[in-house]
């Protein structure tokens, strides 16, 4: 029986703002080019802005288009959770990546 490949895990650290979008896009592109699912770990994300949220939506679209799995994991910091809630991306404040994934509008 063939073993499933280990997931590609992205664990960015710090503030994810527009000036880091190209770097994150390159990391996502690389992860999607490999076998296995892609996990985005939220533990180290201190803050983010709308362009980075848009990039994650685009990553989800690419995953669906190519038949890859793309999931969130880890702990979502209060700052990130509140920013997503205040911006209208979620209707409840998520505590984990899994909660964020299941509550992110249109994700």
User: 47 and 79 in contact (C-beta within 8 Å)?
Assistant: yes
Q: Are 39 and 8 in contact (CB under 8 A)?
A: yes
Q: Tell whether pTM > 0.85.
A: yes
Distance CA(1)–CA(44), nearest Å, equals 36
Per-residue pLDDT 10s for the chain (107 aa) are: 557 788 999 999 999 999 999 999 999 999 999 999 999 999 999 999 999 999 999 999 999 998 999 999 999 999 999 999 999 999 999 999 999 999 999 88
């Amino acid at each position: 029986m063939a073993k499933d490949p280990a997931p590609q895990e992205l664990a960015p650290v710090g503030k994810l703002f527009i000036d880091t979008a190209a770097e994150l896009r390159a990391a996502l592109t690389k992860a999607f080019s490999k076998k296995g699912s892609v996990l985005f770990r939220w533990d180290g994300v201190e803050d983010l802005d709308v362009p980075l949220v848009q990039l994650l939506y685009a990553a989800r679209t690419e995953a669906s288009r190519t038949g890859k799995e793309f999931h969130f994991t880890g702990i979502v910091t209060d700052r990130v959770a509140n920013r997503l809630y205040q911006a209208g991306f979620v209707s409840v404040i998520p505590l984990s990546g899994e909660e964020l994934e299941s509550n992110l509008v249109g994700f």
